Structure 1
Amino acid sequence: MVSVGLHALGIGAGASRTVIDAVAAAAERSGFATLWVGEHVVMVDEPASRYPYADDGRIAVPADADWLDPLIALSFAAAATNRIELATGVLLLPEHNPVLLAKQAASLDRLSGGRFSLGVGIGWSREEFDALGVPFERRAQRTAEYVAAMRTLWREDVASFSGEFAAFDRVRVYPKPQRRAVPVVCGGNSDEALRRAATWGDGWYGFNLADVEEVASRVSVLRRMCREVGRDPGELRLSAALQDPAPADLRKFADIGLDELVLVVSPPADPIAAEAWVGELARKWTTRPSARRYMVGRDKP
């Protein structure tokens, strides 16, 4: 059965503390599987960079909208809940220091009781990279190396790593994640993004896909790529957000092998209305209390 997640917090009305508390608690009670929060550090009014998830190449979020840091937003969501999963959808990994991020991710994982998954992307806005002083070129290679470096820090008590973009020697970084690993979910719809998921990801998060057929096509390519690199496709947890999903499609998603459909929605600004809004979504999508998800380092339900 396909579970249903919410990508509703961190932006605009979803950046309010009271709305985060209300939506997170109501989503948990209603059986939603995961709370997803995305990231942009900076926005610009007239970007030259093309947004890859819209036909017109422009992101729908206004440049002056409140956009919380996803790890901080999820820490508040974690404090308001006990069982629902938490995930960045997605964090722009090459814009971060991997040693610091490894500590932040492990801290959130420990404080949430092992509920956190780190969804990552390579980024698309050259203007954002420029503002942060990070090279836009070779960001995919930087991302892969950062993941390897963070996994080393999570796994080993005394960790060393030597790469092109990250290096450290005999360092200790604590706390460790609850299971010495944080699941890393690869975001993106392109063949390159799918290959990253197949090669070193623990899951995949497709975003703003057009319809069931596009989801099926991307999942088929991902499974083929897993086989090409000698991985069992069943090792990956598959999540996707669609442009205009319908509850009747859930059975089709199950047949495809999708694990989670993510609803990208904006809550009301009033916390009482936001709580009722979550309940209406749950009734529409016939959610059920979710079992613990299976990803690397976690037990199957």
Structure 2
Amino acid sequence: MSGEVRVVSFQALEDLDAGLRRFVAVTGEVLEAMEADIQRRLQLLEERRQALLEQVEHHREILDDEQNDELQERAASELKEAEEALRRLEYWQRQANEQYRIFRVHAGRLQALCATSAVKAHGFLERKLAELRSYTEIRTPSFTEPAAATGGVSRTWQAVAPCTRDELKRAIAEGRYQDAIDIAIAIYDIDPSAINGKPRYEPRLDCVGTTDADRCVLIGPAAFRRSPGWLASSIAHEAKHAKDIRDRGFPSNDVAYLEYEIAAYDEEIENADKYGLTHEEVEELRRLKHWYEAERDRFKAGHRPRSSDREGWWGPC
């Protein structure tokens, strides 16, 4: 084969990237519309239930007050019909609420897919487009760490120059969040070796961080809302997930998932001094750890979780 790379057109990759962006946007709009429609229908069911409750109460009052036997018999029949209608409606209302809970789980997973895998694919396409464009300008050899040295995952590493915490603070203040992530890993001596690639900033992420089954890590805006140490601790949290997934596999059930979270919070709390976390930040970590412990215990006891709004995502929110 010739050592020359011939670049003919970027259009196919650009079209694919645009299609991916449209998919994410349309998915969000569809889920939002479905959520609104479901809420409206659940509200109608509740209003109907309240109306039937009033009918039942009304017929009971008539039955208690009426002296005429014929009218009493008629009131009893109407009360029975209203109670049966109420029973049927409450049954279907429970079914609807259960299906809504299941919808929330799957919708959350789809949203997580858009926030992780779709974003990862977009980043991959961006990198490949940049690489192809660079070939048209200059041919420079690239150096990629062999897959054999990284457990089967090839990575291109970008060195971070020696930095200080003042530079980290400045990067955060200036909104250079990807630089801040890279600097935090360097100055806080975080081991990212289990992460596939390097942690990437994702502005659309609605939680602190997320790690997928491929050990790709995204860091969201919430990681930058406290101290620089909080950012570093959040990255270490996701690095712990990546290490556990590499060593033990992706959690196969709810209890395993919750125990992975508890282990990551334990590591954050144990290293609070290393990251210079404030008392309030440590207490927040303890609160989150306690929440996961309580949910784990409920699952082990055969109960459902107290909240379904944390399903479908991976990482501390």
Query: Greater share of helix residues, 1 or 2?
Result: 2
Q: Return the structure number with greater relative CO, CA threshold 8 A, min gap 6.
A: 1
- Tell whether the structures are fold-level matches, with TM greater than 0.5: no
Taking structure 2 as the reference length, the TM-score comes to 0.24
Q: Give the TM-score, by structure 1 length.
A: 0.25
Give 1 or 2 for the bigger CA radius of gyration: 2
